[in-house]
C-alpha cells in the first residue's frame, strides 16, 4: 500500500520535472499507454485539457514482463557497446571516419523508426503518408496539403505535414543522444518536386523550458528525375521555439542530438512528394564557418 503510493508519487514527480530518468524502472513498462500521456502535455487547440486521475490508468502484467525483458536486453547491449568503443563504433573507426550514414530506407523496419504527422492533429485537412519506394531502396513521403484553417476559434494558419525520427531510447526509456561532434554537415540525397522543405533538429534538452526548441534550416528541392545531393553545414541551423525564430542565437551542440525531422508548410494547396535515399553526416574539411548568425545580443533590454 505504502509502496504503491511511493510509486505513484514518483510518477507525478517525473511528469512535473520532465526527467525521464526519475521514473521508477519497474513501474514504467507496466503503465503501457500512460507513458506517452505523462511525457507529452500537448493539448489540441479547441479541446479541454485532459484530467484523468492516476487511479483510472490501466495496468497490464504480461506486457510489463515483456517490457522488462526487452529493456534488460537493451541495457546489456549498451554496456557491451560501451566496451567496444564510443557509441558502439570501434575506436579507430570513430576517430578516422569522415562520413557516416545515419538513416537509410531499405526495409519496413527502417520506416518504422519515423513518425509522420500532419495538421490533422489540430483539425486540418492535409494528409501525409510514408512508404517504401521502388525496389525497397528509398522512402517516399507523399500526400496533400490543405491550407484551410480549422474553425476552432484559436488557429489562424494551417497546412503542414512533418516526418520525424522517433526519439532514441536507451534501456528503460531513458533519453539517448547521438554524438555527431566528428562531423560538421548534414548530407541528404533526396528527390523532391520543387517544394521548399524545412529540416529540424531536436536536441531533447534537460530543462523542460527548452522542450520546444528546434534548430531549423531550409531544403530547397529542384524537382525533376535526378537525385539531388544536399549538404547543409550545422553552422547554418538557426534556433527557433514553437515556430518563432529566437533573438539569441547560438550554434547547435553536436554532442546531444536527438532527432531530425522534415516539415513542409509552403502555403500551396496540392499534392507533394519527397523521396529520400539516405541521410548521412559529412565532415567537410573545406567548411570553416563556426556560426552563420551573429551571437551578440541584437535586441538589448529596454
Partner 1 sequence: MNCVRKLLLARELSAGRGILRQAAPGRDLPWLQESSCAQGFWPVPVRSIRSGAALSRSDLVPSARGDKEKDRGSRDGALVPFDELFERACKGDRNKASFSRAVELFCQRDIRRRGHIEFINAALRKMPEFGVERELDVYNKILDVFPKEVFVPRNFIQRMFNYYPRQQECGIHVLEQMENYGIMPNKQTKFLLLQIFGEKSHPVRKYQRLMYWFPKFKHANPYPVPAALLQDPVDLARFSLQRIAADLSAKVTVYQMPLTDILDDGKEITQLHIVGIQSPDQQELLARHNPARPVFVEGPFPLWLKKTCVYYYILRGEPLPPEEKEEVIDSERNFYYPMQLDLDLDRDLWDNEEFYVDEVEEGPVFAMCMAGAGDQATLAKWILGLQQTNPILSQTPVVFHLTPGPRELQVDLDSESGEEEIPQSWHAKQEL
What is the binding site for partner 1 (CB under 8 A)?
A: 98-99, 101, 104, 106, 133-135, 137-138, 140, 142, 157, 187, 191, 193-196, 218, 220-227, 245, 247, 267-268, 270-273, 275, 277-278, 280, 282, 285, 292-293, 298-299, 302
Nearest distance in Å: CB 243, partner 1: 12
Burial category of 177 from C-beta neighbours within 10 Å (exposed 0-12, middle 13-18, buried 19 and up) = middle
HSE-up (13 A, CA, CB side) for residue 291: 14
Distance CA 106, CA 114 (A): 13
What is the spatial distance between Cα 277 and Cα 102, in angstroms, rounded to a whole number?
Answer: 11
Cβ closest to partner 1, residue 99 vs residue 108: 99
Report the nearest approach of partner 1 to the CB of residue 247 (Å). 7
DSSP secondary structure of 172-184: GG-B--B--TT--
- Report the half-sphere exposure of 57 (CA within 13 A, side-chain side): 19
Q: How far is the CB of 249 from partner 1 (least distance, A)?
A: 10
Closest to 295 measured CA to CA, from 262, 252, 244: 252
The rounded distance, in Å, linking the Cα atoms of 128 and 140 is: 10
CB atoms under 10 Å from CB of 52, counted, come to 9
Residues 6+ apart with CB under 8 A from 102: 178, 260, 279, 280, 281
> To the nearest whole angstrom, how small is the minimum distance from the Cβ of residue 278 to partner 1?
5
- 3 state SS of 29: helix
Residue with smaller CB distance to partner 1, 138 or 259: 138
Q: Which residue has the cell 557509441?
A: 87
**In the complex, what is the shortest distance from the CB of residue 293 to partner 1, in angstroms, rounded to a whole number?**
7
CA distance 165 to 178: 12
> Whole-number minimum distance, CB 260 to partner 1, in Å?
16
Nearer to partner 1, 71 or 191 (CB): 191
Three-class secondary structure assignment of 37-51? HHHCCCCCCCCCCCC
Give me the half-sphere count of Cα atoms (radius 13 Å) on the Cβ side of residue 123. 14
Stated as kind and residue range, the H or E segment containing 274 is: strand 270-282
Q: How far is the CB of 79 from partner 1 (least distance, A)?
A: 27
Partners of 214 in beta bridges: 240
Amino acid at each position: 500500500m505504502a509502496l504503491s503510493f511511493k510509486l505513484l508519487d514518483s510518477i507525478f514527480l517525473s511528469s512535473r520535472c520532465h526527467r525521464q530518468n526519475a521514473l521508477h524502472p519497474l513501474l514504467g513498462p507496466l503503465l503501457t499507454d500512460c507513458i506517452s500521456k505523462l511525457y507529452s502535455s500537448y493539448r489540441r487547440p479547441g479541446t479541454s485539457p485532459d484530467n484523468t486521475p492516476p487511479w483510472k490508468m490501466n495496468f497490464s502484467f504480461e506486457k510489463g514482463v515483456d517490457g522488462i525483458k526487452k529493456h534488460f536486453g537493451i541495457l546489456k547491449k549498451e554496456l557491451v557497446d560501451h566496451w567496444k568503443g564510443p557509441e558502439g563504433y570501434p575506436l579507430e573507426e570513430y576517430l578516422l571516419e569522415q562520413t557516416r550514414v545515419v538513416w537509410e530506407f531499405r526495409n519496413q523496419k527502417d520506416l518504422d523508426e519515423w513518425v509522420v504527422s500532419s495538421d490533422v492533429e489540430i483539425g486540418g485537412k492535409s494528409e501525409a503518408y510514408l512508404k517504401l519506394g521502388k525496389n525497397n531502396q528509398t522512402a517516399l513521403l507523399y500526400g496533400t496539403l490543405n491550407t484551410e484553417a480549422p474553425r476552432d476559434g484559436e488557429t489562424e494558419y494551417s497546412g503542414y505535414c512533418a516526418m520525424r525520427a522517433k526519439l532514441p531510447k536507451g534501456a528503460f526509456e531513458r533519453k539517448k543522444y547521438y554524438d555527431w561532434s566528428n562531423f560538421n554537415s548534414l548530407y541528404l540525397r533526396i528527390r523532391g518536386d520543387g517544394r521548399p522543405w524545412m529540416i529540424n533538429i531536436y536536441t531533447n534538452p534537460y530543462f523542460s523550458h527548452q522542450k520546444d526548441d528546434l534548430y531549423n534550416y531550409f531544403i530547397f528541392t529542384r524537382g525533376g528525375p535526378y537525385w539531388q545531393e544536399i549538404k547543409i553545414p550545422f553552422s547554418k541551423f538557426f534556433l527557433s521555439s514553437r515556430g518563432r525564430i529566437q533573438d539569441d542565437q547560438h550554434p547547435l551542440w553536436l554532442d546531444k542530438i536527438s532527432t531530425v525531422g522534415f516539415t513542409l508548410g509552403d502555403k500551396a494547396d496540392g499534392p507533394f512528394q519527397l523521396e529520400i535515399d539516405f541521410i548521412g553526416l559529412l565532415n567537410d574539411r573545406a567548411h570553416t564557418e563556426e556560426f552563420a548568425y551573429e551571437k551578440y545580443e541584437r535586441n538589448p533590454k529596454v
